[in-house]
A = this chain, B = another copy of it.
Amino acid sequence: MKQTMYNKQRIHKTNGLELGLFTSGDYLPHPTTKKCQTPSERIQQIIQMGQLAEQAGLDIFQVGEAHQKHFLSQSQMTILASIAATTNQIKLSTGATIIGVADPVRVFEDAATIDLISNGRMELVCGRSQRLGLFKLLGYSLDDYEELFDEKFQLLLALNHQEVVNWTGEFRPPLEDQLILPRPYNQEQLPIYRAVRGSVNSLREAAQMGVPIYCAQLDRDLDTMKAYLNVYREELSNAGYQPDDMPIATAGYLYVGPGSQQATKNYQHYISAGYDRLQTDIYESVDFEHAQSVDSLINVGSPSLVVDKLLKQHEELGHQRFVGQIDFGGVTFDEIRRTIDLIGEKVIPEVKKYTAKK
């Protein structure tokens, strides 16, 4: 039984701690030169990032969804489909899909199609969104923020579970004996994670529903994170699940450079300038002050420091996957490429060596 749940999520312990990249699809000028790529260049380079991530041996590549100025990932599914068609191994995922403002039927159709295109490499992460402008754009009310997520997420899970669906809800017309096509690769279910950040309620709900979580760790320390994940595990137990049996993914900053101090300084420069440019209060700059410590969840530094951090996190948190953001705030493509190369050469072999189960 233990193995079943992992298989269902297409996670295999023999693979060790899975490492991946995510992009929020931001479109921001370089902080110093103020130069901006064209929108077409940026989108094409995100697709290339996915290809480079595969070549470097990363396990997964995720594309976020944003519908606002300074972002280019309004249509995360077409970007992911492009990566699916030009790669062979790497898993693909949204991160997150704002399911409350979408039609779960369309989301499932898109994701299942990408699963067929990629021979079974597609996953979904569903969140509620911190950026709220998209509610108005896509025709939903912020008053229904929680209820929309709950209803639509449940519906998505039902579509994934059954081929013929009967369903009634408040925010979408009912489905009566509707055939949901296409089905994912080999008639499997799509792995579907719930995105959580600070809310203990979100954790509890995910546990009660028996869905794996994708947890942003941006502004936490290791102990707080550990306690937070343990709430999820306890609640899984309470709900009758085997906690060790449910994969956990974490997500945060990732940046490597030859020297730890220089790497931290470089990346902080991008992050701060990016947040300044976005100028909304939900984008709070994260404190890089303690980033040099092995206990910091900001996975920035020399390759060996980042390896030490990831191994410590794996030991303490017992998670199955870490997904890092290397491209926020106008990072040049040369730097993106160098970072991916360094991760492939220096970080992945070490992390896999100590975490892969023989």
Contacts and interface: CB of A to CB of B under 8 A. Distances in A.
Contact of A117 (B79, B116, B182, B185): B79
B117 A44 contact: yes
Contact of A78 (B77, B173, B181): B77
Interface of A: 39-40, 43-44, 47, 67-69, 71-72, 74-75, 77-86, 103, 105-106, 109-110, 112-114, 116-117, 119, 136-140, 172-173, 175-176, 178-179, 181-183, 185
Contact of A82 (B39, B85, B181): B85
A103 to B, nearest CB: 7
Given A68-B179, A82-B85, A173 B140 contact: yes
A117 B43 contact: yes
A110 B136 CA distance: 18
Contacts of A110: 75, 77-78
B103 A138 contact: yes
Contacts of A138: 103, 105-106
Contacts of A47: 85, 117
Contacts of A140: 173
Integer count of this chain's copies in the complex: 2
A183 B71 CA distance: 12
Contact of A181 (B72, B80, B172): B72
Contacts of A172: 139
Contact of A178 (B40, B137, B181, B183): B137
A251 to B, nearest CB: 23
A113 B181 contact: no
A113 B78 contact: yes
A183 B75 contact: no
Contacts of A105: 137-139
A39 B185 CA distance: 8
B178 A71 contact: no
A109 B73 CA distance: 9
